Each structure stands twice: as C-alpha cells, then as structure tokens.
Structure 1
Amino acid sequence: MSKQGYHHGNLRQALVDAVLLLIEEKGPNGFTLSEAAKKAGVTPAAVYRHFKGREDLIAEAARQGYEIFADLMEFAYRSGQPSALASFEATGRAYLAFARRYPGHYVAMFESGIGLNRTPELFAIANRANGVLERAAEDLSQRIPKDKRPPAQMFSAHVWALSHGVVELFARGSPGTTSPFPPEDLLESGIGIYLRGLGLVPPD
C-alpha cells in the first residue's frame, strides 16, 4: 500500500491488513507500531490519525475477525437446519475452518491478550459469535430431560474448548504436535463422544 492510499481514505484498513500479516509472520507481540506503519507505506505518526496505539490496532483486527467469525458461525448454524444436531456439529467445524482461513484474525482474537471489553464494538461482535454456538447448544439440549440438562453456556463452552484445542494442537502446524488423524476427524469424533455421554446420539 502506497502513501497515495492514505489520501483515498484507505489508511485505516491498510494498517489493519499490515498488522494481520505481521501477526501471521511474527505473532501478536513480535512487531512494533513502526513496522506496521512501514508495511502500510506510511510514517508512524500517520497511524495516530486512526488509532491510539498498537493495542488499539490489534483490537480492530480482532473486531474484524469476530465479524467474519460470527457470519461464518451463523451460516454454519443455518446450514444444518432443521436438524439441531447437524447445526451444532456444523458450528464446531466452522471454528476449525475459520482458524485455517484467517490465521491473523484468529491470533488477534484469541492469542493477543486484547480483552473483549477494550471497545464496545469488540465486545458486541464477540458476544454475537459466542451466542451462535450457545443457540445451537440450546436447540440440541432440548432433547435432554430438563432436570438433567446442562446449561447452554456450559454445553457450548465444552465444545468451544474442544474445537480450540484441536485447532491449537493439530490444525495450525505447531511444532511437535503431529497427529495420525486429520483435525476434522479428531473434532468430529470428540464431539461425538461428548454427545454420546449426554445421550444425544446413540452409541456405536
């Protein structure tokens, strides 16, 4: 991106795009604001026209990531309808697909140390994304007798944790964490075991 892009009003997004590339290359703490500015083709002083500092820039990358993530989760949820089980499983697979397709956003969201309360916009979109999985869990849990039904937030948190673990250990090429099975198969079998334990799918 050249400095001409700034005059056309593109600097804000150019900086976010630069940060996403730097996050992929160096991690969320491996670069400076000056490096982000240089990658966007502007001086460090120009960054402050749009962001207070480096953390606010990463927070915007995370916000944009959650927006993509929420849309993807919504699409996955709807794709399984009217089956509550299919919708629930689809949201788990969507998590894995997002991490692979948008690694810079994923790291900004989950590994940068940026709190969701940093901006109202970040908090709102993150809640929207989380709410999709909770809704899928709520739909599926209706099959469980009310006195034995786990809270939807707990239900969805378990699957979120399982999905996150598969992504972190086996889907992002972390050193020393190879698996003889594709991440998709690990996630599907793990969710299946969990759902069988709740009596939501029949045993093999």
Structure 2
Amino acid sequence: MSKRGYHHGNLRQALIDAALVLIEAKGPTGFTLSEAAKTAGVTPAAVYRHFEGREDLIAEIALQGFAVFADLLAYAYDSGQPSALASFEAVGRAYLAFARKYPGHYVAMFESGISMQRTPELHTVADRALGVLERAAEDLSKQIPEAHRPPPQMVSAHIWAMSHGVVELFARGTPGARCPFPPEDLLESGIGIYLRGLGLIPQDK
C-alpha cells in the first residue's frame, strides 16, 4: 500500500477506521500509532496532525461510539412504549446489539481505560447514554411511593453492570464461556429478577 502522507482525503477518519480494525484484532493496547498509520496507508508523521498519541485516538473512537450508543438506546426506549417495562427491556437488548455490531467502539468505550471524563465532549455524550437508563428506571419507579423508590442512578448503574457482564461472558464468544441460554434471555431474566427484588415490577404468580 502506498504512503499518501498529508494528502489523504479524510485522514482523521481513516485513522479511526484503521484503529478500530486493530482494536478488534489486538485490543486497545495491542497496537501503536505507527501500525494505525500503516493500516490506513499513510506515513506515521501524518498521524500527529490529528492525534497527540494513541489514547487521543482511542478517546475519539469512544466519543463516536457513545454518540451511536446513546442514539440507539434512546430509540430502543422510545420504541418500547407503551409499557415502561417493555421500554426498559428494549434498552437492554439494544445494549447487547450495540456490543455485537460495534465491537471496536465497545472496547474503546469500556475496556480501554479511557476515562469518560477525559474531554467535556466525551463526558457529555456518555452521560446522554446513561441518562436513557436513568430515565427508564425513573419511569418504572413511578408506580411505588416516592419514599420507597430506589435512586434511578443506582438502578441504571446495576443494569449497566449486568449488561456489561453478559456482553463480556456470553455475547462476544469469550473462550471457555458457555451457556445454554441466549445472551438476550440471560439479560432479560436477570433484569426481571432484579426489578422484582426492588419491587419495581410485580412478582410472578
């Protein structure tokens, strides 16, 4: 592949796309900026026109990922109406769908060690994604007296952690992790058990 240096038409996005390929193949710390440049077909020096280092590149991938993630969760929540529970479960399924469809972004967002506070833009878009879960938890809580409602931030954090666990263990082909149930069923049943324990949905008859 020839080196196109500074004349690449969209160097910034080309480097992001190259890094996504490398992240999926080697993980977020398994490649160098020089490898990203080589994969993109540009000179290593050209990378520094846009990124100071590998972490800046990964942070940009995380930013793009969170933007798509937030939109996907919001769409799932809105499409799950009229039931608050259906909307909540739709958000969980959207979480798994995102992890499958955008594995490189998912790793950059949650497994690279990049802080969500790294830049104001990244913090804002990550908060927007978490806000969908918090809104779903708040809507579910409206059926019980305010004094007994769990904080929506706590509920959303627990569901986020549960979703991430299902992704890590069963939704991405982790070696040695075997389960007779589809990841979607695992997450949905886990969410149901959790929400019933909090009194947010009725117990099964």
Q: TM-score, normalised by structure 2?
A: 0.95
Q: Match for residue 63 of structure 1?
A: 63
The alignment-based identity, stated in percent, is 79
Q: Match for residue 112 of structure 1?
A: 112
- Contact kept, 8 Å, 2:138 with 2:152, in 1: the verdict is yes
Q: Match for residue 202 of structure 1?
A: 202
Moved more, 33-42 or 171-180: 171-180
- Contact kept, 8 Å, 2:5 with 2:42, in 1: the verdict is no
Q: State how far apart, in whole Å, the 2-side matches of 1:181 and 1:67 are.
A: 30
Q: State how far apart, in whole Å, the 1-side matches of 2:7 and 2:85 are.
A: 50
Asked if 1:184 is matched to 2:181, the reply is no
Q: State how far apart, in whole Å, the 2-side matches of 1:96 and 1:5 are.
A: 38
Q: Match for residue 103 of structure 2?
A: 103
Which blocks of at least 5 consecutive residues in structure 2 are unaligned? none
Q: State how far apart, in whole Å, the 2-side matches of 1:67 and 1:3 are.
A: 31
Which blocks of at least 5 consecutive residues in structure 1 are unaligned? none
Q: State how far apart, in whole Å, the 2-side matches of 1:6 and 1:75 are.
A: 39
Q: State how far apart, in whole Å, the 1-side matches of 2:124 and 2:6 are.
A: 29
Kindly tell me: are residues 4 and 42 of structure 1, through their superposed partners in 2, closer, same or farther at Cα, counting changes over 3 Å?
closer
The one-character-per-residue Cα deviations of 1:51-90 (angstroms, maximum 9, x if unpaired) are: 1111100000000000110010010011012321111111
Q: Match for residue 149 of structure 1?
A: 149
- How far did 1:9 drift? 3.4
Q: State how far apart, in whole Å, the 1-side matches of 2:79 and 2:165 are.
A: 24
Q: Match for residue 127 of structure 2?
A: 127
Q: Match for residue 24 of structure 1?
A: 24
The letter for the 1-side match of 2:16 is V
The one-character-per-residue Cα deviations of 1:8-27 (angstroms, maximum 9, x if unpaired) are: 63100000000011000000
Q: State how far apart, in whole Å, the 2-side matches of 1:149 and 1:175 are.
A: 40
- How far did 1:101 drift? 0.6
Moved more, 1-10 or 16-25: 1-10
Kindly tell me: are residues 158 and 38 of structure 1, through their superposed partners in 2, closer, same or farther at Cα, counting changes over 3 Å?
same
The one-character-per-residue Cα deviations of 1:120-178 (angstroms, maximum 9, x if unpaired) are: 11111111111111111111111122121100100111111111111111111111111
Q: State how far apart, in whole Å, the 1-side matches of 2:136 and 2:203 are.
A: 21
- Contact kept, 8 Å, 1:2 with 1:40, in 2: the verdict is no
Q: Match for residue 13 of structure 2?
A: 13
Q: State how far apart, in whole Å, the 2-side matches of 1:74 and 1:37 are.
A: 35
Asked if 1:165 is matched to 2:149, the reply is no
Count of aligned pairs? 204
Moved more, 132-141 or 194-203: 194-203
- Contact kept, 8 Å, 2:59 with 2:114, in 1: the verdict is yes
- Contact kept, 8 Å, 2:85 with 2:140, in 1: the verdict is yes
The letter for the 1-side match of 2:149 is R
Kindly tell me: are residues 3 and 143 of structure 1, through their superposed partners in 2, closer, same or farther at Cα, counting changes over 3 Å?
farther
Q: Match for residue 33 of structure 1?
A: 33
- Contact kept, 8 Å, 2:5 with 2:46, in 1: the verdict is no
- Contact kept, 8 Å, 2:77 with 2:87, in 1: the verdict is yes
